[in-house]
Amino acid sequence: MLNHLIERLAATRARQASWPAFAQRLRAHGQRLLDELHPLYGERADFAQVAEQLLQVAYEGWRDRSPSLRQLDAVREATPDWFASEQMLGGVCYADLWAGGFKGVQAQIPYLKELGLTYLHLMPPYLCPQPHNDGGYAVSSYRATDPQLGSIDELRSLATQLRKAGISLVLDFVFNHTSDEHEWAQAARAGDPHYSGYYWMFQDRAEPDVYEQTVREIFPDEHPGAFSQLPDGRWVWTTFHSYQWDLNYSNPAVFTAMAREMLYIANLGVDFLRMDAVAFVWKRQGTPCENLPEAHHLLRAYNALARIAAPSLLFKSEAIVHPDDVVSYISPEECQVSYNPLQMALLWNSLATREVNLLQYALEQRHQLPAHTAWVNYVRSHDDIGWTFADEDAALYGINGFDHRQFLNRFFVNRFDGSFARGEPFQDNPLTGDCRISGTAASLCGLEQGDVHGVARLLLLYGVVLSSGGIPLLYLGDEVGTLNDHDYAQDAHKAVDSRWLHRPPRDQARYAQRQDPASQAGQLHAGLRHLIGLRRHLPLLAGGELSVFWTHNPAVLGYRRGSVEDGLLLLGNFSEQPQRVAAHVLAGLPAQAQDLVSACGIALDQDLTLQPYQQLWLRLQA
């Protein structure tokens, strides 16, 4: 079938300058595309037409790719592990909140370079409904930007400037749903049968009722269940908010239309697409409609399409689900990188319990990834913290998952003795007992409460993120310890969503203090820059290989990168008490090591004491 399709396309395009290279790419990757499409649409009589249309879209994407991006394609294809480097450091921000828009971000490039960033994720900058748009995750057009941020040309020029500065631009591909103001949704609402088929629309409650027996509620505060009713009585699938309509990928026209949008975004000069809400993109009755096998075929088909038409484009998976499901999206043929929500949640868990057992276990059992893929490790994102550890892992330590989540929620909203955190509940659901946590990293670490250990706690979390393997991601503002924005509750449009607590505007005062060693902001900034600087000079931190080092102290985390003769041993104390690691545990290591954090020599042939929340980066050399 592939050869036949290539011949058909060649009939009309063979004379175009872009064709020969495209035909070559098609021969290399086209079969994989067809193989992934087949389980989705292969039963249809018009499968060949579907495939041909898609290849046309791919050709147009390739044709429109700029010479400088094609150059980058060649470089990246020759170095598929480029993102595993110790030089990689990600940052994420809202262009408007952090910098006042695209031009403001451009003006911040020197600061981003000073921090050492090589990757910048701008929260979705696309045209979206006002005032409710789920922080930009309700997209009305993938080809236009929110005018408050700037124009699409300014975004394109920002991408170019970032690339010149060695910084990859990361944008979202919000492909599970569009906003209800997208032109497709507007046509569907008006009753157009073609566009009604782009969404999951039902005349009555019969089918929605069946689906709702097996799907979970994601934003129960906004609407119960998974559907919303339109004024004409029809029901439309809305996993998240009523203004976010789920796309119906069982209709191949949707796959093709979104492929076109994907390549458009790629051609702006985007290196990574953050694949939003991957778990939800395929639905089938009688299932949870999450993590279905078809979702993987769909992602792999888009991946194959990228190899054909936008070769340097990589995917980052956003799957905030059970850890077994999180890894199921990660492979060179699917999403090359992925958020590591388990590590994120367990970092916070360890701060609350002062025990590293679950984190250590996860590093031992769940950290290893396939070749040519990487974790994106992070402390906080723009979303809530959900306690997505595996109950079966917790049970190994005698911990009941449900009860433990209740404890964590109480701890992080400061309703537990010994809590230093100032968080708020998100989507507290009394029916199921589910609840997640909002709050900035600094406020959850105790800086808001004025806790003396706040700075060291936050540095400890970032220390793990920077050294455990993969791409570390900094939530911009954390480097100066930005606190919760309690004003969100005064804004009627934000008050309904506590995630705005940790999406504050740029804190000018804190940024102004960042060189002042007497201030919290200054201590954090200096401490974090120091850790970032260490990482950049340690090639052994590249990649993801890691060996767990059991410290036999419940509060002290340990792991090694590299070898005992030439490596780095990281030890971290997750409690406010000094903690000891016994000499016999350290036997087998060199007798002496340099702690890179304090630049002091440390004896390893005797008991070792870590101060509260201290981290040691012990350089092991034979």
Closest CB 113 distance from ligand GLC, rounded Å:
27
Residue closer to ligand GLC, measured from CB, 22 or 329 = 329
Pairing of strands 168-173, 119-122: parallel
Q: How far is the CB of 279 from ligand GLC (least distance, A)?
A: 6
Work out the end-to-end distance of the chain between its first and last CA atoms, rounded to an integer number of angstroms.
Answer: 59
Taking the C-alpha atoms of residue 573 and residue 554, their distance in angstroms, rounded to an integer, is 9
Would you say 413 or 455 has its CB closer to ligand GLC? 413
The residue (of 274 and 525) whose beta carbon lies closer to ligand GLC is 274
How far is Cα of residue 533 from the mean position of the Cα atoms in its chain? 23
Q: Exactly one of 36, 181, 276, 393 is catalytic; name it.
A: 276
Task: In angstroms, give the least distance from the CB of 612 to ligand GLC.
Answer: 32
In the bound state with ligand GLC, the residue whose beta carbon lies nearer, of 30 and 136, is 136
SS3 218: coil
State both tokens at 480.
């100066």
- 198/208 Cα distance (integer angstroms): 17
Active-site pick, 318, 334, 485, 576: 318
State the minimum distance, in angstroms, from the CB of residue 242 to ligand GLC. 13
Active site annotation includes 403: no
Amino acid identity, position 118: T
What's the min distance (Å) between Cβ of 47 and ligand GLC?
30
* Positions in the binding site for ligand GLC (CB under 6 A): 134-135, 137, 174, 218, 240, 276-277, 318, 320, 382-384, 386
Q: Is 43 a catalytic residue?
A: no
The residues near 492 (Cβ < 8 Å, ≥ 6 apart) are: none
Query: Is the Cβ of residue 174 or residue 421 nearer to ligand GLC in the bound state?
Result: 174
Residue appearing with tokens 């979202």: 172
Q: What is the DSSP letter of 205?
A: S
The count of other CB atoms within 10 Å of the CB of residue 402 is 12
Helix (H, G, I), strand (E, B), or coil: what is residue 318? coil
Cβ-based nearer residue to ligand GLC, 182 or 382: 382
Cα gap 210→283, rounded to integer Å: 12
DSSP letters along 188-204, please? HHTT-HHHHTTB-EESS
For 397-507, where are the alpha helices, taking DSSP H only? 401-412, 441-445, 454-467
Burial tier of 347 (Cβ tally within 10 Å: 0-12, 13-18, 19+): buried
Omega prior to 131 cis, within 30 of 0: yes
Q: Pull the structure tokens for residue 191.
A: 């009753």
Q: Which residue is nearest to ligand GLC (CB)?
A: 137
Q: Which is it for strands 374-378 and 337-339: parallel, antiparallel or unpaired?
A: parallel
Q: Which residues are catalytic?
A: 276, 318
